Structure formats: structure tokens, C-alpha cells
Structure 1
């Protein structure tokens, strides 16, 4: 065994050297030391099947050898220059992205993280329209920079106490309801959101530069709108000259069964942001737009590390792997199996699992929707049980009571079947701990 300090050693150093805002999953967390495709390994050799992918990051698998080989080769050749120098990897990557993005999006500005990508997209919208205001959906998450935090509707991720509360509009940001509400049908909730959008646009559409939205809200609880929602949103925004920014940080590059989630509804955003899966673990991000909109960004700007040779070559290798292994189609097929399996468990444990929703391999199972505090405690119990059974899953949702399934897109049908069997056992264990048949389990 390597000279690992173990979980207690890592926790001790975190307590001593990290900021107190840094948290972790699990009451008894493992020290993770190795990854191979859909598997993670603890310091003691325990193998875990990963169903969270570092929050949708390693979509092509941990340490994928087809990708890592090219990363290492570039790392040994030319590690860094800025965009003030000419190198080929970043222009090749920009060209490649133009071929996979929705029609008309062909200009790319490279940065390092999703927060930076969204920050840049919001700036671009202001430069192009000459307007200052923004629209955003309640319970959305767009980053931890100041501007992206301002358009973030999830309270727990609005760290700056000086920000106006979501729902109490700040001068430059107006929130509208998300297209979801427990107790409403999907169409009813989406119609409520559209009506709110119409009202805001009628009042101050001429002051708004852009609306930013996740096609499927991830941290908000895996919220998938009806198919007609974003086409209608885009049409309304166009009437007032308001741009649509699609935050595809979590949904991009095959996760939802399409290269980008907006492709599911035939919507081409004015600006698209991407990160996470594009580098499959190597930091790379970008915001992309049309020739016309990009032409508005003439003031000097640069990203020191954005589009560096290593990240660009890695992203090219990722795109090659996605295409060669048809990961979007794979996510659509495997996601259908996972969704059906989770729905079957929801039917078996109706008092525990309130809802299952998602698209492709981006699925959430909400526990105790009517009592999210209790549901959050149960989610933590299930995460702990699943970890002990060899499976890593995530959590999200407004009340942190949604089990999150966002695995590497290289998982197999067998992985899904084994995980569902373990989850059945974990839910049964939780069910028995909180009162047995009193809480409703169906054979």
C-alpha cells in the first residue's frame, strides 16, 4: 500500500488549512486515490462505481487512457502560452467546437471554469445589447463570481450577504419562476413561468440584455421543462431583442442524450457556455456565440490559462472519444434504463421516493418532497449506505433532498443493474430504520 495518510489525516489537514466553507460528503468518507473509467478506488483498495462523475465532469471516464495519452504527450511538449502567442491546439479546438455546436454558433472565447464562462457570457450580452439588466430562473446555479452569483437563484450558493435575496429583485437582475412546482403539472408550472416572463418583458424588456438559464437545472433538483418551454422562451426574448444564454456547464457534451441539451428542443441560444465534460477532469471552459454577437467584443480581454495547449489538446481528445464511442446515443439508451429502474424503485417505496425526473444520464430521485429537511437526512443516509455498498452517488435540490445520478457516460448496463439492486437494499434499510411498513413499501 502507498504511503497514504488516510481519511482522518486528510480531514485533519483540511480542518487546519482549508476555509471552513469547504465541506465534504459522508460521515465516514474514504480517501480516493485512483480512478479508472467508471471506477474510483479508496486508499485501502476499495473499488467504487462512480454514479456522480465529479458532478458531471468526467463524462468520458476517469483517467481515460485514450485521452490521457494525448494530454501527457502535450504536457511534455508545450505546457503553456497565452493567447497573445500563436499555437495550433486552441484554434483547432475552436474550429472543432463550431462543428458540434447548434447552428450559427461559431466564435469561442476560452477560459478555465464554468463560472468564468458564464461571467464572460453575461459581459458579452451587455456589450452587444448596450443594456445592463438580466433575467434568470429561480433555483438556478451559474457560478461563484460576483456577477454569476447575482444571477444564481439557489440561496445556498449566494455566498455574498450583500446580494439582494432571490425574489426581491436587485437593480439589474430579475428572477422568474422555474418551470417546476410540486403539485402542478409540468405544463402548468411552465405556463406560470412563461406568464411571468411576459410580464417582465412588457415592463422592462428594453432594459434587459439577456436571460441566462440551465436547460435542465442540475443543482436545482434535475428540473426538466416541457418540450415547448424553451422554444417559447426564445421566441418571446427575440421580440424584445433580449439574448438567450444557455448554461450547458452540466448538460453539455452528451450528458442528456444530445451533444447539448438545447438540441433536445431544437433551440439555438445566442450564447452558449460550456465546461466540465469538455475537459473530462482537465480545467477548460468557454463561451460561444455567433459572428454578429462576437463582433461586439472589441475591448481588450484575455484569459491567462484559457485555451492553453494542454487543455485544448485534452478537449480535442475528449471530442474524438465522444464521437468515436457515440456517447450521446449511449447516454440516451442507458439513461432510459436508469430512469425506468429508478421509477420502479419509486413505485416500491412510495413514501420515500416522491419523484424521479431527468433526461439521458442526468437523473434525480427526490426523497420526501413534502418534508425536505427529513428528505435531506434520508439522502445522507442513502449516500452513506451506497458508499458502503461500493457506489458513489450525489445529491442536489433546493432542500438537498434529491439523489443525483450523473455517472460517466461509459458506465454499462451491468453497472446500472448492480447499482439499482444496491439502491433497493439501501432504501429498504432506510425504510426499516424509520418505521417499516408504516411508511409504505410495496412488494
Structure 2
């Protein structure tokens, strides 16, 4: 394992071999598919799908190192076509592969028949591959297809929806699972050893619970607590030290960290309260932190039905249009789309009558599959008609349509929409709003 002390603890103890790797035994246990591919140096392009902190990046690095391949690491959050092209060009040059789009020169024609010993295809690791739009993913396709590179994409999203089908069909998808408590404990033990401290059992339990299956979160907190309290505690950390460290430090905004959930919670509650400016502020916080815009847009689609609902049925259409725009355009331009959607949803009248379905679901859970009234049943055969299926059914105006046991139930209530107190908003407060605020 790496011992570079100028790096975060999670990087310093990152495994470099399969023997050191913790978790994912269904993939890297002896004889399992990824184990075999790495041991036998039979790598092909792959997609690693799983939650944060379960080893996607580490496995990609191990695969490249174990098979003696160059390793290029990119994040789809910040990388573009120029970055991809630079790696592809370098790979072709180092492997003696001619660019099929370039005109051949005299020397390449003379060397055409000479046997060449090519280097192994490098591994291009693309973190958060789901952030790439279709055009960016299309760019990779010919180089994956002709073996210029071995692509390993990592994603927390379902690749069936986020990776283009042509690229997906040329890649092997491996699903990584949340680390179990024993895995997290072993990783914590390694972190404790690397920090040269000791830790009480209740502190270990605290870290395991805090991790939620994401080892990186527990290691970040462990390292922070050690920096703050290890000296005064004579090198032994307690659960109290960890609690204090958690409260004293603003942890980096991370998709699995507390600040992530606090921010999205503040965002939703601000729209619910029709406070447009607050909603825009928390949107800006998430954008600045690099939050996946599709995650934000999904929450807006949910909000449109859950909180706006029948107060403004057009809100759902607006929100789904925002999601589609975000999906097509991506950062940074999609911020305009997000902003428009947030202003619309926060300004819309609110009505939560759509939650009526949950009362109906509770009855289904309590009563099971109650008999459907005969008049509502389908009658495709004469036998069914003779048995009374579909009898007395009227197309409009019939009221006796629920099962007899719950015939009088009322789920949907036409609640009056809650009009927003704040009708207008912009990123900067207008004079009228400032005057209103002062009242």
C-alpha cells in the first residue's frame, strides 16, 4: 500500500494489489470474473457500477498495474474531448498505431510490412462516465472498438440509462456492492495503523455506522479526529473525539456525505416554502460543488408532483423538460435550465393532494387484494359474461367502483392550493422585494 504522507489517509492506504483489496469478493475472489481477467491479463473495456467509496477507482488502478499497462485517470466532471484526444493520440503513438484519418508518409509506407511489437493498450479510467453526454461518449467508441485503449468507466448511476448502448455493448459491466461492516472495520484498522494511533471499540463502531458502506467517509473522519485530538488523548481516540471532530469540521461536499444531504434538503424546503432566492442559493451551492445536474433535476421532477401537484399541473411538464434539457446539454450551460425550473417550481402554488395514493397503498397493505367489483371485471369470454363479469358497468358517472369492504373510502381531497408568499424573485433582490422584506 502507498505510504505517501502528503496525501489524505484514504489515498495513503489505498490497496495496490488484489491481495490487499477489501470487499467485492463476488468479483475479485479467487476464480471470480474480474479476478480471472486481471490475473490472466485479459482485460477488456469495463463499466464499474456502484455507490461511492466501494473501490471502483482502486480496482481500475489495480487492473492497470497488475497487467503492466499505462494508466490515465480522468473525471467526466472536468474532462472534455481534448483530454480524451490527447490520451488516444499518445496511446496510438506509443503503440505504433497509425491514425486512420491521417495521410500516410513515405516512411510509414516503407515500414508498413515490417512486424511491430506493440505495447499493451493503456487503461483510460473515466470516473463518473454518466456525466458525459452522447457526443462525448460517441467519441470514445472507435478507440474502444479497435483496441487503442481499454476503457474503464465508473458510475453511480444505472449504466443502462447513462451509457450509450454502442459503448455498453462493447464493455463488460461489473456491479460493485456496498461494503459490509466487516470490510469497513478492516479498512478502519488499516487507517489506525497508518496513523500510528489506537482507537476504542465504541469509536470503531461509530465509524462503521458513520460510513454507511462508504469507507472513504469513515477514513476522512478518522483522519480529522486524529489531527485534532490524538496528541491530547495520548494517541487513543474515543467516540466522543469523533463526534466533536464531525461537528467541528465542515466536511468536503461529497455525494455520500452529510453536507450533500443537508444541501439538497435545504433546496427542497426552500422551494416548498416558495422562497425563490433561497432555492437559487442552494442550487448554486450544489452547482459549485460539482453535483450531478441530473440528480438535481430528478429531485425537481419529484417535487413537481409531490409538492406542487394539482396546484399547477404544468409544473411536472416544466420539470421533466428541465431534466431532458440537462440530459442533452450538461454543464455548464444547463445551469440556465435548472435556474428556470427552480424559479417556476418555487413560485408555483403548492398542493400535496397527490399523497392520496399512499393512503390507498396503506389499505392495500392492510386488506390485501380485495375482490374487484364484478361490473369492473373484463369479460372476454361468454362464460365470464354469464358469470356476471362486466354486468351493469356504465362508462360515466358510476360511483360504486371500490371493493365492497372499503366502498366509502375517500383518498383524494381537493385541497386548496397554498399560494406562494413570494411572487417574484431573481438572483439579486429587487428594490420592491427589499422594501417588502423591511415591513
Q: TM-score, normalised by structure 1?
A: 0.23
Pick the structure with more helix per residue.
2
When Rg is computed on C-alpha atoms for both structures, the one with the higher figure is 2
Higher relative contact order (CA 8 A, sep 6+): 1
Normalising by structure 2, we get a TM-score of 0.23
